[in-house]
Structure 1
Amino acid sequence: MKNMQHTNFWKKYMTNAQLDLSIARYTKVPVTWAEGSYVPEFNKLYFIMEGEGFVKVNGKIYYPKPGDLYLLPAGSTQAYGTLNGHNTFGKYWCHFSSKVNDAHLFQIIHAPVFIQPDNPELLIQKFKQLVFYSEKGDLSSSFRIHSILFEIMADFIEESNEIYFNFRTVPSFEKMEKVLQYIESYLHDSLSVEDLARIAGFHPNYFISVFKRYTGLSPIQFINRQRMERAKHLLVFTDQSVSGIADSLGLEVSYFSRMFREQLGFSPKNYREMISRSGATSTPKKLRMDTEPDYFKDKTDLPE
């Protein structure tokens, strides 16, 4: 994946992504599997296990091979069909919706149509789990479904070399970008909602609504969160005193210490000592999925 530089705002914005699974199955498709040009309102993932066929996306024809993982986004013009009679696709597949606030995820993230996963066996395991939990339908399964679907999409993004972002499809991108840049530059000042709304060209009440929709926080909450992020950095990577850090953020030291404790659960001094003891550059171990449910059945009744 290409290295992309974004503000903390847009990182926060992307964490608002919602992936909602509608169906997941394994299918050995019939010879009648075909659809002419149409525009689905949902996204598809096809993980090809065997056979031959084609998919057409926005006028370009692809011939998936076993081991390919295809992402067919909502809103694209699509078609598909079989080739050469009876050697049809056997594939894991799912349909899901994806939104970030009011925008479609794949209007913001532009991804390739397919990848060849680095670890197909692990991907098979994840699809089997996705199928299994989608059929259970209980409360805990809904959490597992979201987790697995996010993992599959994270793998797709990480293993793609053609990913790029187009935040200008997001309403008010440029205005909100100006606001965030201003906040970053003037964290040490007294920032008012009225001033920020004026920069965006919005009425203050409307500005608060837009800001919270994109960040999940009110402007004041976001400003204080950014102040604590900067404070964390200064505590770890500089020798500045707690009072000096508070002053650099335009805060009284007592108020700064109370806010820091409320947000992180530690006093600034204790946080610095804890990070110093644990090592600020330590890297957490990568999580694994070592187990899968015992029971999986291939489904042949849904030729998607």
Structure 2
Amino acid sequence: MDAIYRQMLHTYLNSAQLQFYVAHYGKVKADWQYHIPQPEINRMYYFEEGAGTIRIRNQTYSPQPGQLFLLPANVSIELSTEKSNTFRKYFCHFALTVGEVHLFQMFQVPHFVDVIDRTWLDERFRKLISLSESQSVSSPLQSKSVLYEILTYFLDTALIQGVEENWRIDSVAADATNMHTVLTYIDEHLSDRIKIEDLAKQLHFHPKYFIQQFKASMGISPITYITKKRMEKAQEWLMIGDISITEIADQVGMDLPYFSHSFRKLIGLSPTEYRQYWRSIIRNKVSL
């Protein structure tokens, strides 16, 4: 995976919204065979036994026990099982979107990984199924937490096992790909007074159209994104250096009062309180 792809995927994952729908475990019937031209959701299949095929993006796979497949939304899939040796599998359905776009429609990742720790993944799926059936008030949040663990495992394992060319930006996400130019410009000009007009010029868009496209791709407005990036940079300086609060505000292109207000609103602490908090953590570690 090249550096640009990695940076873009990191940015979009940071903004993505996860919606969990259902999880289940069982053995499919002998007539389990169908074609879904435009699936509206993502599917994850964790195969434990059986044989059959999955066809996706003009590639045909024969899933093996211990393999975890990710089938993205809006990508045609065909599935079938051998009648005499049907699949037994865990599965879950979910959406992972940035704005109105499915993340795995924008970014193509390897379609499957070989699971190393099968006991761990069995436990995660059983937990996910239990939570999907629970009436607990907190179960929706817990379900997302477990699903995030499974997705993280898939992506981290795919980075180790995946073939390099299997990681690429899908052609349907050309507009989102172009946004990388804007994100790079923002990173390089955080200390400047960035204007929407300047960002729109990077893509030769009208400012109003640019704002619409940015929100559709990133899920948040350009101003919100810029403020978030500035606060992240400010946190780094507050944690590791002795640069003054006034200088930090200047480095992120903000007046001191507005910087302090924005920092407290986003982080929950003033810049000074945040610095004191991290220094107390460092002192405690040193004294241990």
- Give the TM-score, by structure 1 length: 0.75
Q: Matched residues in 1 for 2:177 and 2:68: separation?
A: 34
Is residue 39 of structure 1 aligned with residue 42 of structure 2?
A: no
Q: Matched residues in 1 for 2:202 and 2:175: separation?
A: 12
% same residue: 35
Change (3 A) 1:184 1:205: same
Q: Matched residues in 2 for 1:130 and 1:44: separation?
A: 14
Deviation of the 1:166 alpha carbon: 1.1
Instruction: Tell me the alpha carbon deviations over residues 118-172 of structure 1, each in whole angstroms, 9 at most, x when there is no partner.
Output: 2211211222222233334665433333333232222111111326241764353
Task: Name structure 2 gaps, 5 residues minimum.
Answer: none
Report the structure, 1 or 2, having the larger helix content: 2
- Determine the structure 1 residue equivalent to 2:55: 56
Contact conserved, 2:106 with 2:169, CA < 8 A, in 1? Answer: yes
Q: Please tell me whether Structure 1 or Structure 2 has the larger radius of gyration of its CA atoms.
A: 1
Q: Matched residues in 1 for 2:102 and 2:231: separation?
A: 31
- Determine the structure 1 residue equivalent to 2:26: 27
Letter in 2 for 1:228: M
- Determine the structure 2 residue equivalent to 1:294: none
Map 1:1-304; keep pairs closer than 5 Å. 2=1, 4=3, 11-35=10-34, 38-41=36-39, 42-74=41-73, 75-82=75-82, 85=84, 87-136=85-134, 140-160=138-158, 161-162=161-162, 164-166=167-169, 169-173=172-176, 175-279=178-282
Letter in 2 for 1:66: P
Q: Matched residues in 1 for 2:254 and 2:267: separation?
A: 17
Deviation of the 1:174 alpha carbon: 5.2
Deviation of the 1:198 alpha carbon: 3.3
Deviation of the 1:186 alpha carbon: 2.5
Q: CA RMSD in A?
A: 3.2
2:23 match: secondary structure: strand
1:118 match: secondary structure: coil
Q: Matched residues in 2 for 1:125 and 1:234: separation?
A: 40
Contact conserved, 1:23 with 1:134, CA < 8 A, in 2? Answer: yes
2:141 match: secondary structure: helix
Task: Name structure 1 gaps, 5 residues minimum.
Answer: 283-304
Change (3 A) 1:223 1:80: same
Q: Matched residues in 1 for 2:221 and 2:86: separation?
A: 53
Letter in 2 for 1:78: E
1:31 match: secondary structure: coil
